[in-house]
Amino acid sequence: MTEKLPDTLDLDADHEPELTDADILDAMQHIPGYLDISTEDFRVIYHLAWRHAVARLRARQGGGSQ
């Protein structure tokens, strides 16, 4: 299945949503098993994943890289 992209990103890709500790802890409660990661480490992973996703989506739209 091919991913269909809109003409423009529906979200403001340059303004990464800020996650609170409560946001992260709530999400972690929905993961079964033991998860050994701090909220700060999660934020680092989230930030890197966000940048990667934005670059990927922009490239697929012909917008080039970051």
pLDDT tens for each residue of 16-66: 888 999 999 999 999 999 889 999 999 999 999 999 998 898 888 875 544
The CA distance from 10 to 55, in Å, is 15
Both structure tokens of 53: 């996703």
- Give a yes or no: residue 3 inside a domain: no
Both structure tokens of 27: 């999400």
Domains of the chain: total:
1
- Give a yes or no: residue 44 inside a domain: yes
- The pLDDT of residue 3: 56
Name the helix (H) or strand (E) containing 42: helix 39-60
Residues in the chain: 66
- Give a yes or no: residue 27 inside a domain: yes
Alpha carbons within 13 angstroms on the beta-carbon side of residue 65 total: 1
Q: Which domain holds residue 32?
A: 23-60
> Structure pTM?
0.66
The CA distance from 4 to 27, in Å, is 27
